[in-house]
A = this chain, B = another copy of it.
Amino acid sequence: MKFYDCTTAPSPRRVRIFAAEKGIELDTVQVDLANGEQFGAEFRQINPDCAVPVLELDDGTRLSEVVAICQYLEGQQAEPALFGRTLVERALVTMWNIKIEQQGFLAVQEAFRNAAKGLKQHAITGPRQFSQIPELAERGRERIHLFLEKLDGQLADKPCIAGENFSIADISAMVVVDFVGWIKIGIPEDALHLARWYESVSSRPSATA
């Protein structure tokens, strides 16, 4: 297996943390996103969507998209289970992970990519250029506040996002909270449950992966 990564980017970090929790060591290739290596002819062969992470299997199959890669790693090594154990628990992990991606990750992406000076023609990840829409950056910021409030509410009576056990949903949410820092938004002062959870998940050894 070969893992196409970029140390500074939030999406591949989700996979690195997931692998670290399982003790899986990935054979990693760095893709130089800052210098546009993802748009080059060579990397387009690896992922036409011009994005990391990508996991290349020994038979040549290439998996992109964080959840697909993590699901494959979970299938390779079941423990510790990070997609839930019972059927209901697994559905709840999936549900929360989707909410975190759609209401959290996409909102930060909107806010960041539509405002960053270096991304004027890259408001969307991928090969095609799209101009920034300043209103969308503003809307993204508003959505982030709602999202952080939602996470705080969810964590009021649970140690982890999807219930009792640490899961991929916690990894995704932690990476979103750190990504939110890029646009200078922090955990709200009154979000005590979120702060307690963040302290706990970010002190796990995997968080530095």
The interface of chain A, by Cβ under 8 A from chain B, is: 48-49, 57, 59, 61, 63-65, 67-69, 71-72, 75-76, 87-88, 90-92, 94-95, 98-99, 103, 106, 124, 126, 128, 130, 133, 135-136, 139, 142-143, 146, 150
Contact = CB atoms under 8 A, between A and B. Distances in A.
- Determine how many copies of this chain the complex contains: 2
Contact of A57 (B88, B94, B106, B143): B88
Task: List 10 tightest A-B contacts by C-beta distance, closest first.
Answer: A68-B95, A75-B87, A72-B91, A68-B94, A65-B98, A65-B95, A68-B91, A133-B135, A63-B91, A71-B94
A135 B98 CA distance: 26
Contact of A71 (B90, B106, B135): B90
Contact of A69 (B57, B76, B91, B136): B91
Given A63-B91, A133-B135, 13 more contacts: A49-B99, A57-B88, A61-B88, A65-B98, A65-B99, A68-B94, A68-B95, A72-B88, A72-B90, A130-B142, A133-B136, A133-B139, A136-B136
B76 A87 contact: yes
A164 B113 CA distance: 37
